[in-house]
Structure 1
Amino acid sequence: MPRIPSRLIPVLIVLAGALFYFPFLGRVHLFDWDEINFAESAREMIVTGNYTRVQINFQPFWEKPPLFFWLQVLAMKAFGINEFAARFPNAVIGIVTLLVLYSIGKKIVDERFGLLWALAYFGSLTPHLYFKSGIIDPTFNLFIFLSVWLMAGAVSAYGTPKATRLAAFSGLFVGLAVLTKGPVGGLLLGLTFLVYWGIQRFRPILSFLNGLLFFGCGLAVASVWFGLELIKNGFWFFEEFFRYQIRLFSTPDAGHQQPFYYHFVVVLLGCFPMSLLAIRGFFADTAGARSDSQSERAVRAVSFRRWMIILFWVVMILFSIVKTKIVHYSSMAWFPVSYLAATVLYGYLNGYLKWNRWLTIGIGIIGGVLAVLIAALPLIGMHTADLIPYIKDRFAAANLTAPVEWQGWEWAIGTVYGLLILGLLWLRQKRPVGSMVTLFLSTPVLLWFVLPAIVPKIERYTQGAVIDFYEAKQGQDIYIEPIGYKSYAHLFYFRKPPPTNPKSYSEEWLINGPVDKPAFFVTRNINLDQYKYNPNLEIISEDNGFVFLRRKPAFK
């Protein structure tokens, strides 16, 4: 890799992160469910002035603690209540994450390894994309990773004053993780620690006092919110909160029940290209073993590699057991995957490791499939009328009738990406460093074009009509609700005010009761049969699979 002055590397990382993470954050509407759900909770904090209680639809929201919503609130205070503000915190977290990986990699091995680690994370598909999203996990994952890194350091420094400091900071970041996403923050570190301890045959690796300090710091940070809620509202809130956490682990959420191997496929395909390199990283510690075999640094690198492998398996097995399976549930595994990929890159570029032809095949296949899909999306969009007769799902078929204007060149984005992948594989032997660096830069460049040119058009098919409807109703004194399916879009894009009539939470009352102002409803064409014969409801329009109904007030 080209020699870059050390003092400039953090600056370049910040500039690269700013160039790729911030543009187009507000180019497309928030997506149902999670992005809109979380942004709506932040909006309702601002509307109500209650920053301690997490709400959705102005009712207690049991699923998540408030830290990420606080970050979104700060962004909304600065930039307004919009998509850019909702996604802004993760873009900042993305830059911080790259700096953290570079810094830790530099300490564990050397500066080159730190750069490769940051590059692997920056240049892989879903890890890069999620820093441009408005979901909780990128922030949560950073806190968990830092707690694992610090705990690994505390264990390595067992019996020294340094271990005390590291254990305290590990507890601090676990507390922040718990404040971000709940008890799973402590669970991931706890299970990783227990497995590592078991591999060490349960010999002492952390002093009792340091363990107490870890728990004390974690509890103190988490109590910033949990303790306040306990004092204000008693145990009922916690009963509901923990009951939801248990239900999430033990029962499948609607539409999110997947096979056991689901997350392994998600990581393999979603973390392209680092996932393919990481597979080989499970079998060879090319970075730690070659950094300096006699140094304390090498010992620390070998130990940390073990922590990373354990963390990977803890995440993958735990969330494969969990009944509800969503892509980002296993996203904590992206950190160990990126580490293992960096070890392979480091060994290959330093001549310690020979290239495996299976890597060439894997990169060619997955990269080629990704290129074909991205090239095909615009072509499908430009020929939807020809496809609709073959689609059996009436709602999906109607979605494709949305008036979306394609420019006609968008297919070239995926085509150029595919040709670039093939070219890099061909040049790999002649220019190993340049080809690998370009491979990991090509995905961010791909997304930089895809997000403004293709994603907004895809969003028009999936939810454009319904969000237009909600935005057109902003400021009107009406009720507005989706019926027959679950959505949060009406809350955020209608800018729903706090309800003044508690009966309005009842769908039965809104449809059949004595409503006191006009009520509007949105359903899907496949759900319409259960509503279209109701004499209280009038169909006012149908647009791209969504059906819009109105009910006039009972006494007006």
Structure 2
Amino acid sequence: MPQSARYYPLLLLLLGAVFYLPFLGRVHLFDWDEINFAESAREMLVTGNYARVQINFEPFWEKPPLFFWLQVTAMRVLGVGEYAARLPNALIGIATLLTFFFVGKRLHGPQFGLLWAIGYLGALTPHLYFKTGIIDPTFNLFIFLGVCYVYEAVLRYGQAGAARYAALSGLFVGLAVLTKGPVGALLAGLTFVVVWVLARLVRRFRPLLTLGHALLAIVVVLAVASAWFGLEVIQNGPWFLKEFITYQIRLFSTPDAGHGQPFYYHFVVVLLGCFPLSIFAIRYLYTQPDPRDFRLWMVALFWVVMILFSIVKTKIVHYSSMAWFPVSYLAARHLHDLLTGRAQWSRWLTAGLIFVGGLLGVLLTALPVVGQYKMALIPYINDRFAVANLQAPVQWGGWEWIIGAVYLMVLLTAIARLARHVRQKNQWNETELPGPVWALFGSTAVCLWLYLSLIVPNIEEYVQGAAVRFYETKQGQHVYAEPIGYKSYAQLFYLRKQPPVDPRTRQPGFLMNGPVDRPTFFITKITEADQYRTNPNLVLDREENGYVMFRRR
């Protein structure tokens, strides 16, 4: 191992801190998920009840509490706000980079580990998600570690160390269940089953685990999950657990919250969102059924995630984010083989990188231009709410397009140089990553870093700035302020709503028609406002950027 490899973990720690920790509080939390989860954590702080997840101080059965506990910890240290809500995932991002390095080092050497980690740092949506306050980055790391440890147990079949790795696999799968529910055990279990079936049917491989070790992993999963699920049933009866299971079934069987998409939706999301890793991974999405090869486990995990969530009726971008982990490994494996002469660079690889990268680069370049020249585009937009959103007085400097343009130039140059490097058979000296690799992934990371700090605040102003500002102006006041005609969690978090909550205010129509005991305000979208303008109980307060605010007489 070269001397420089000793410093790779320190390098990744530094890169993770530089790219993930700054600007977490630069923009407000986005409706729904970010605000939803942060509000659940805030209500834990307000009530002192950390055993049950709540929204609007009512039981919220959609998610277990582990991620909210992480947010609560950050809020206790930093105060309630955007930075604290997003900090757990930023730290998980750093942990993920280090995990990739150490797992990659164990499998193929330190240079592979560095290549894998740098690739994930410089991939589009994986980079973005570590700067959000949603559950999935934490959930995904636990699932990945569960699969890694069961793989280690399989390698040690019949040996003393297998029991320890089986238990560790159960521990992390159990933590995944505590983070997002039974789907964590489902993903890990299906991956194991797929590998076992392939090994038995194709290669007549020996059993992957002894019965005792398999049972040990299952018992540990149940024990960890019972730390909350079991306690909840003991303390409050089975009602909450029944509602939780009913909600999970509804997500799988019906399109929830309007998130119905075509079957191929997640394949498009992964192809575009996981760029440039997705392009390198395509060629390695199949392999020989040898369970001693980690590649088989990653191929199985990828297809389990993609098929399962393509079947599920509710389709949201982050549902397939678990696939980004195996995609990153398969991409690193392919790129490593290219650099070491074990694989040949193809025209299709060049075409894929240029097409998807060029498309993303053009979009990132054009987006600020659209914002700057929005008035010229408004006549062609057939959406009243979107048109009104664009009326927000956002100040553009006129130079923001340069970020996307420079990214596009660096990206295309890096692709050309990397292709030439591989085709000229300039063998990798295994001591450092070639310059084109750093340029390929580093350009994406730097572009996103700049975009999140300079461009996204302007975009957020168009999308939800007026609504969030409306609630912030009422923060700390003894008032009611609620959305009507659409669903939102912003009023809860940005009003800093406090208990007790009059149960009548949760009844449809009470705040609009009932005997309220404090000033009452409503906000709706311009497309829904006409039905409320003639209500004798409401007076127009103001209109701003697509949102219409009313107050009770």
Please tell me the residue identity of whatever aligns with 1:305.
R
The equivalent of 2:221 in structure 1 is 218
Runs of 4+ aligned residues of structure 1 deviating over 3 Å after TM superposition are 429-432
Q: How far, CA to CA, are the matches of 2:286 and 2:484 in structure 1?
A: 52
Choose the corresponding residue for 1:322, options 303, 312, 325. 312
Offset, 1:499 = 3.7
Q: Tell me which residue corresponds to 2:455.
A: 454
Q: CA deviation at 1:26?
A: 0.6
In the alignment, what sits opposite 1:530?
531
Distance 1:226 1:430 in 2: 55
Give 1:246's aligned residue.
Answer: 249
TM-aligned CA distance change 1:174 to 1:425, over 3 Å: closer
Q: How much does 1:206 deviate?
A: 1.4
Partner residue, 2:276: 273
Shift of 1:532: 1.3
Give the Å deviation of 1:254: 2.3
Q: TM-score, structure 1 length as denominator? A: 0.94
| 1:426 is aligned to 2:416 | yes
**Kept after mapping to 1: 8 A contact 2:411/2:439:** no
Query: Aligned to 1:416, which of 382, 406, 419?
Result: 406
Please tell me the residue identity of whatever aligns with 1:439: L
Name the stretch that deviates more: 210-219 or 136-145: 210-219
Secondary structure at 2:220's aligned position in 1? helix
In the TM superposition, residue 6 of structure 1 has moved relative to its aligned partner by 2.5
CA drift of 1:113 comes to 1.1
- Runs (5+) with no aligned partner, structure 2: 423-433
Separation of aligned partners in 2, 1:546 and 1:478: 19
Partner of 2:146: 147
SS in 1 for 2:482: strand
Aligned to 1:165: 164
For the residues of structure 1 that align with 2:338 and 2:420, how far apart are their CA atoms?
13
1:355 matches 2:345:
yes
Superposed displacement of residue 283, structure 1? 5.3
For 2:255, the aligned partner's letter is P
Q: Could you tell me which amino acid in structure 2 is paired with residue 173 of structure 1?
A: F
| Identity over aligned pairs, percent | 63
- Do the aligned residues in 1 keep the contact of 2:5 with 2:111 (CA within 8 Å)? no
Q: Distance in 2 between matches of 1:465 and 1:282?
A: 45
Query: Residues 477 and 366 of structure 1: is their aligned pair in 2 closer, same or farther, counting only changes over 3 Å?
Result: same
| TM-score, with length taken from structure 2 | 0.95
Residue 229 of structure 1 is matched in structure 2 by: 232
Give, in angstroms, the shift of residue 363 of structure 1: 1.1
Query: Separation in 2 of the partners of 1:238 and 1:551?
Result: 39
Q: Paired residue for 2:260?
A: 257
**Superposition deviation, residue 524 in structure 1:** 0.4
SS of the aligned residue for 1:548 comes to strand
One-letter code aligned to 2:250: R
Residues 465-496 of structure 1, C-alpha deviation per residue, up to 9 Å, x if partnerless?
11111000011111111000011111111111
How far is 1:427 from its partner?
2.2
Task: Give the match for residue 291 of structure 1.
Answer: none
1:70 maps to amino acid: W
| Whole-angstrom CA distance in 2 between matches of 1:501 and 1:424 | 60
The 5-angstrom pairing of residues 119-134 of structure 1 reads 119-134=118-133
2:335 equivalent in structure 1: 345
Q: Deviations over 1:326-377 (max 9, x none)?
A: 0000011111100110111111111222211111111111111111111111
Partners of 2:124 and 2:366 lie apart in 1 by 18
Q: How many corresponding residue pairs?
A: 538
Provide Cα deviations, 1:19-51, integer angstroms capped at 9, x if missing partner.
Answer: 000011110111001000000000000011111
Q: CA deviation at 1:55?
A: 0.5
SS in structure 1 opposite 2:529?
A: helix
Distance 1:3 1:389 in 2: 61
Give 1:266's aligned amino acid: V
User: Is contact 2:153–2:165 with CA below 8 Å preserved after alignment?
Assistant: yes
Cα displacement (A) at 1:196 = 1.2
Q: Quote the Cα distance in structure 2 between the aligned partners of 1:284 and 1:369.
A: 30
Cα distance, 1:419 vs. partner?
A: 0.8
Q: Counterpart in 1 of 2:69?
A: 70
2:428 aligns with: none
1:210 CA drift (Å):
1.1
Q: Which residue in 2 is equivalent to 1:92?
A: 91
